[in-house]
Amino acid sequence: MSKRISVALVVSFLTLLFLTPTLSSARIYLFDKKLEINGSIEQKANWKFNLKEWEKGKGPNNSRTTAAGTVINGTKSNGGRYPQNAPSLFKTHVHLEGLYHIFNEGGKLLDGIVLFEWFYDWAPQMTGSMGRGIRARDEDAYKTPHGWEMIRELYVNYINGPWTLRVGKQMVVWGETGLQRTADVVNPVDLRSHMMGVDDWEDFKQGLWMFRGFYQTSFNNDFTFEWIVVPFDVKEIDLPKEGTMYSSSYSGGFTSSFWKNWRHDAINEHGLHNATGGIRVRGFNTLFKNDWDWTLIYYNGYDPGPIVWDWGQRRYGYRPQTLNGFRLARQGTGGFNLYAGEYNIQLSEGLPLPRHYDGRFFQYYRTNNFGATATSYIYKLPFFGLFEIPMKANVRTEIAYKYGVNFNTISYDGQRGDGGDGNWLVDGRTQKDQFALAVEIGKDFMPKFITKYNGQRSVDVTLGFFTDWILAKTKDLNLDGYDRGAGDKNSTSFSLDITTDWFKQELMTKFNFSYNLSGNGAFWAFFQYAPGQHWRFTFLPRVAWSNAGPYTGSKKTNSSKKGYSEKNDSTNYLHFKVGYLF
């Protein structure tokens, strides 16, 4: 590690550690309180354990691709060069929120809002056990944001009577539950550097430039109409970069090249014909002797992930670049399948990899999204007028119906591929409807064996349930990322949160268990010490398990629990964080 990097690490950490609390307040006011600023400075570190061979660096059966596109094959064991456990994240994170009151007169209000985020992950430069599988372009995009990425929100908010208008870069919250994004579909997410299941969904969202308006009616049920127009800003989902902290598999650079094509083929015209938008109606009604806050939602927008457009049937599809590629082409493989097969065979044989393809492989399609949410505190739940079930619990629910979602179809050809092992081949596109349901029930308990020691404070327990159905599903659908086996019609997940605090609320503990019926799951424990208004010290151990494993040549398949070389626990880690809030 260079001297410059060492100095920067020491300075950033000491700046965080020795900030003087007496110089700060919970919120900073400037310009006669017209400007309000609050935020946080955090130093995060993840210590990853149970590393896989492909995570440790060069070694047997562990080739990697350099930025120049050449393959380096290990010929000896790791020999202790890379430890079994290693730091995989060391991130300095700055989060700032600004509110400027432009004017507030005669019932009219105009504010300017900005949300700024900057971070830098030093881990790829700190140790050889991190960065060995990251391509140069991926590392640069992963370790720090660039340009407008740092401005997550920037808009003006105008209020005049029942009207509210917002113009600028914004993040929209249309959901009520936290286990999955069910009806909350406006902003695509960025999964590069946040912890799934630990961070809030708002931390993952990418801001969009939009017009957003509200109208508050005078009806008894408190009707509010909301509409959104995104005139040109179309973004795709950002997935974890291969070889980085939250990537769970390694493919020698193929995944990196694959996702580069995603961006190359994304919608870049930025014209009004790409405009997206939707409406939401919010109200308040009494149902079954309980008060419900509800919404109805419609949104028409592009799916955040693309569909393979060229699977070998287009006139100007991919052309082979190597002898292996020409052999596959003679066998009838074409388009995206030809590029994938050529790349993987070249990688497995330690040969130069094909250059990145600048043609079109992917296409982005629109989907009509219908949804509804409902929230209530239920004291008693009537049971068909016969009796009432005492609950005293918060209930949050979401439903979503997506009309005409695009999927690729795939087939297994045992005659093609290297050595006749066979491959999954993309062979078409189809549309299916999806239905999703999410429910969270939160209840406070007062167990004596805990309240005796935590100052008679409650233990908050939240049970979550999520299920997602693809209607008229067929086994030939490509369902990567849907947590399904090949024959599963739905993806079903459960979660359990248990939270309480101790010692005059200075220590908070939270335990979370989540499980998907496909075999994926995780458990983590959250401990946060807050000695006052400003400082936060966090420790979080996490253990995960899955039926998915790293890429293994001809055994690459879906989550049907067949064809994997090992269980995937590569996302196990210990998380440490020191934060200062102001």
Count CB neighbours of 367 within 10 A: 18
Contact 90, 122 (CB under 8 A): yes
* pLDDT in the model for residue 398: 95
Q: Is the pTM of this model over 0.85?
A: no
| CA dist., res. 197 & res. 205, Å (int) | 14
Q: How far apart are CA 130 and CA 353, in angstroms?
A: 23
Classified by CATH at the fold level, domain 3-309+360-581 comes out as: Porin (2.40.160)
The β-bridge partners of 247 are: none
Structure tokens at 368: 């009509």
Please state the domain extents for the chain.
Answer: 3-309+360-581
pLDDT for 243? 74
| DSSP character string of 219-245 | STT--EEEEEEESS-----BPPPTTST
pLDDT (tens digit, 0 to 9) for every residue of the chain, 582 residues total?
444 444 444 444 433 333 333 333 468 888 888 999 999 999 999 888 766 665 654 333 333 333 323 333 332 233 334 445 566 788 999 999 999 999 998 889 999 999 999 999 888 777 655 555 677 778 888 889 989 999 999 999 999 999 999 999 999 999 888 777 888 889 998 888 777 666 777 788 999 999 999 999 988 888 999 999 999 888 888 888 877 777 766 677 777 888 888 888 888 766 778 899 999 999 988 876 778 899 999 999 998 888 998 888 766 678 899 999 999 998 888 888 899 889 888 888 889 889 888 788 889 999 999 999 999 998 877 777 777 777 789 999 999 999 999 999 888 665 444 443 456 788 889 999 999 999 999 999 888 888 887 778 889 999 999 999 999 888 788 876 666 655 567 788 999 999 998 887 788 999 999 988 777 788 999 999 999 889 999 999 998 877 644 333 334 344 344 433 344 555 688 999 999 998
* Contact criterion met (CB below 8 Å) for 186 and 228: yes
Is 524:512 a contact under the CB 8 Å cutoff? yes
Q: How far apart are CA 402 and CA 370, in angstroms?
A: 6
Q: How far, in Å, CA of 181 to CA of 171, rounded?
A: 14
